[in-house]
Amino acid sequence: MKIKCSIGICLLFGLFACDSFLDEKPDKSIVVITSLKDVRSLLDNSVVFNRQGMLTGRSSDEFYITPAGLVPLNVTEKRTYLWMDDPFQGEMVNDWVTPYQQVFYANVALETLDDIKVDASAAIGELRGEALFHRSFAYFNLLQQFAPAYRLDGDNTGLLGIVLKQSAEVNEPAVRYSLQECYDQIEEDLLEAVDLLPATGLYKTRPNKAAALGLLARIYLVAFDFEGAAETALAALDYYEARLDFNEIDVDARFPFQTFGDETIFYSVQSSTRLNISREAFVAEELTELFKEGDLRIPAYFDEVDSGRYLYSGKHSGNVSFFGGISVGELELTAAEALARVGSYTEALEILNGFLARRFSPEYYEPANQSGLELVKKIIDERKLELFGRGIRWFDLRRLNQEPEFETVFVRERDGNAISILPNSPKYVFPIPDLEIERNGIEQNER
């Protein structure tokens, strides 16, 4: 097989490097899996599937990095933090390569399952559901970085989305589908996955019905389908009944949260960068202004290193990795916002207050009682705090900046000068890596 496209090269190299169980052919160019056991091993590769990029975390308004903290960052880390026009400088971009590797693995699994002729329909269905979820998770992350935001008032069929790879054929031409086609594909795959996946799973690195519904809720929220977001988030919470009360954990511990703890519905972590361990990357002051007495997330998530300056330390990964998966808190806040958006204020407050009661010490807990726009603003503020460091704030900025009530302008300093990123700026879309443009001739994003 003569490999022409760079996506294919990266994926095949990753496949050979990560999975010794695969039947490697003598010329190292063809990989064949033939059994349900092979597919299960392929989909259980957490090194491939349960990780995601870090571009959104560095580029959002959650952190500020001191000049001293910028010095040890590599080229991509520094230039994406500063929103520079050519942030990658020809370097490999893990945020592009990793999800397309996931897409390739998922497509290999799907094609293998189509070819297997055994009386094991339930097992085949579950594996198919997992592959569809993983492909959808990868596509969603790619869309939030390398395609424009879904437009509230625009023609999404006229906007360029991402390259959809619907087969494992690495020589398949690379074509950017429309933004609407990309969202339609993810929705179609996830609706099928919900039907196929089990209600519960053995491991939180494997998706179940709640995870697929939770990802659907993310998609509907960024696409302004608030009824769909509320329905799917609530359905996910019905399937997943565990709840984590912050009053029952040691919020002052080095790692307050357990890996695969009750709060986690689907486990995924962001790629490790110097930001994970930097002592010069502080929580943005705009966020610390939201801190309230008795909010247990403050000691659980953050360490105050001097007066008013906080480091992000407590992640739901249970370690130093930034959590990027799907959690109970995210879905509760998604359901609450979506219900408030459609005027169901009583139901929104019921969910929001149940959530807040598990985040505050009892003596400080005060139920929310807002309605209308004020309730939506309250929930969005809670999203800023609850979902800190997960990459989700970038998704929220892209959608909220399309509404005048929620526009955000934030400013950073570069070489002693103030620089800003304006609402709906082209810099909310990252450039496609140069190698992909050169090899495949796909259209570059405006920057």
Name the nearest CA neighbour of 93 among 141, 45, 161: 141
- Classify residue 121 as exposed, middle or buried by CB count within 10 Å of its CB (0-12, 13-18, 19+): exposed
Neighbours of 47 (CB within 10 A): 10
| CATH code of 372's domain | 1.25.40.390
Residues 368, 225: Cα–Cα separation, whole Å: 24
Please give the backbone phi and psi of residue 272, each rounded to the nearest 5 degrees, phi first.
-75, 135
Q: Is residue 79 part of a domain?
A: yes
Tell me what pLDDT residue 273 has. Answer: 82
Name the nearest CA neighbour of 255 among 291, 299, 223, 214: 299
Tell me what pLDDT residue 18 has. Answer: 38
Residues 215, 98: Cα–Cα separation, whole Å: 18
Tell me what pLDDT residue 415 has. Answer: 85
Tell me what pLDDT residue 274 has. Answer: 82
Q: Is residue 447 part of a domain?
A: no
Q: Please identify every stretch of the chain with a pLDDT value under 50, giving residue numbers as ranges.
A: 1-30
Q: Residue 376 sits in which domain range?
A: 6-440
Residues 313, 283: Cα–Cα separation, whole Å: 11
Q: Is residue 425 part of a domain?
A: yes
Q: Model-level pTM?
A: 0.92
Overall domain count for the chain = 1
Tell me what pLDDT residue 385 has. Answer: 98
Q: Is residue 22 part of a domain?
A: yes
Q: Is residue 446 part of a domain?
A: no
Tell me what pLDDT residue 328 has. Answer: 98
Q: Is residue 152 part of a domain?
A: yes
Q: Is residue 70 part of a domain?
A: yes
Q: Is residue 445 part of a domain?
A: no
Tell me what pLDDT residue 23 has. Answer: 31
Residues 381, 204: Cα–Cα separation, whole Å: 28
| Cβ(352)–Cβ(336) below 8 Å | yes
